[in-house]
Amino acid sequence: MASGFFALLDDIAAIMDDVAAMTKITTKKTAGILGDDLAVNAEKASGFISSREIPVLWAITKGSMLNKIIILPLAFLLSAFIPWAVILILILGGLYLAYEGAEKIYEFIVPHPKEVTVNLKKDLTKDELLDLETSKIKSAVVTDFILSVEIVIIALGSVVNEPIVTQVIVVSIVALIATIGVYGIVALIVRMDDLGLKFISKSNGKSGFLFGLGTFLVKALPIIIRSLSVIGTIALLLVAGGIFVHNIEFMHHVLEQIPSILRDFIVGLAAGAVCLLLVNGVKLLLPSKKNKH
């Protein structure tokens, strides 16, 4: 009896070692998506009045957790019964990531009409403010759903050949890290300017350490959000390129003479450019809404 119990403990310890190792590897592979997730949500969670930033962010976080609860069981069912579908979805997700990254670069280079954004800090009635907040929360949760699918599938693709128990534990841990880690950092980012203003208010005049630190935090917030957007775009292309190189047979030896990080970026950018051309071509062929009226 005792020997059987200790053998069970030894098996559990071995599984935990495998889980720890696979979680580390999988988290690295999903880091690019987490960077883009962070950039997107930092942008969507900013712009509210100070007292509403954390409640709105908490509402988005709860929506993100619900997304994971919906996605994870479906992903595990696919892995258990039709594992080839995980690779297929992974490649389709890579195409989406490549397209998104290429589109961001295209929009940066080519002039286009700017999206009209609503400033939630201006004077609004309580009902108007609630409606606008609800709209932004829904938009953020939908975006999170898409990114969550990508995170879960990339994580699952990394452990698809492992036992189902290992898959469930590793992917669930990565999903939890994605939610708590990303939204925890977003909470710190969106409160930077408020913390900076508090430091400025506590400083003596327009000099001193607190004033300098407060001014730095206030000015750094928009720079950090823009920087995250750039980093997230590069990360999207790197992750997409890595998906194609490692999961499509004929691409294993493409540009293998150059560093892998550069190869992944080039492959991701090339695939994104092709997807962008196809999507824009279809948009040109389809009748616009204006022409229908």
3-state secondary structure the chain: CHHHHHHHHHHHHHHHHHHHHHHHHHHHHHHHHHHHHHHHHHHHHCCCCHHHHHHHHHHHHHHHHHHHHHHHHHHHHHHHHCHHHHHHHHHHHHHHHHHHHHHHHHHHHCCCCCCCCCCCCCCCCHHHHHHHHHHHHHHHHHHHHHHHHHHHHHHHHHCCCCCHHHHHHHHHHHHHHHHHHHHHHHHHHHCHHHHHHHHHHHCCCCCCHHHHHHHHHHHHHHHHHHHHHHHHHHHHHHHHHHHHHHHCHHHCCCCCCCCHHHHHHHHHHHHHHHHHHHHHHHHHHCCCHHHHC
Residue 207: other Cβ atoms inside 10 A: 9
What value does the mean pLDDT take over residues 230-254?
A: 82
Inform me whether the pLDDT recorded for 50 exceeds 90.
no
pLDDT (tens digit per residue) in 79-137: 888 888 888 888 888 898 889 889 989 988 887 665 544 454 455 566 767 777 788 78
Can you tell me which residue has the tokens 């004929």? 250
pLDDT band at residue 37, thresholds of 50, 70 and 90? low
pTM: 0.69
pLDDT of the residue at 30? 60
Section 23-30 average pLDDT: 58
> Are the C-beta atoms of residues 204 and 57 closer than 8 Å to each other?
no
Q: Which of 37, 51, 91 lies closest to 236 in space, CA to CA?
A: 37
Burial of residue 289 (number of CB atoms within 10 Å: 0-12, 13-18, 19+): exposed
Is the CB of residue 278 less than 8 Å from the CB of residue 72? Answer: no
Amino acid letter, residue 12 = I
pLDDT number for residue 126:
67
Q: Which two tokens stand for residue 97?
A: 């990531």
pLDDT in tens, 248-275: 888 878 887 888 889 989 999 999 999 9
Q: Could you report the per-residue pLDDT of 188-219, keeping only the tens digit for each?
A: 887 787 788 888 888 776 777 788 888 888 88
Over the Cα atoms of the chain, what is R_g?
A: 22
* Separation between Cα atoms, residue 73 and residue 58, nearest integer Å: 24
Q: Which of 262, 194, 190 is nearest to 38 (CA)?
A: 190
| Percent of the chain surpassing pLDDT 90 | 7
**Torsion 234-107-193-217 (CA) sign:** positive
Encoded tokens for 250 = 């004929």
> Which residue in the block uniquely carries the two structure tokens 């913390």?
195
What gap in Å lies between CA 159 and CA 177, rounded to an integer? 17
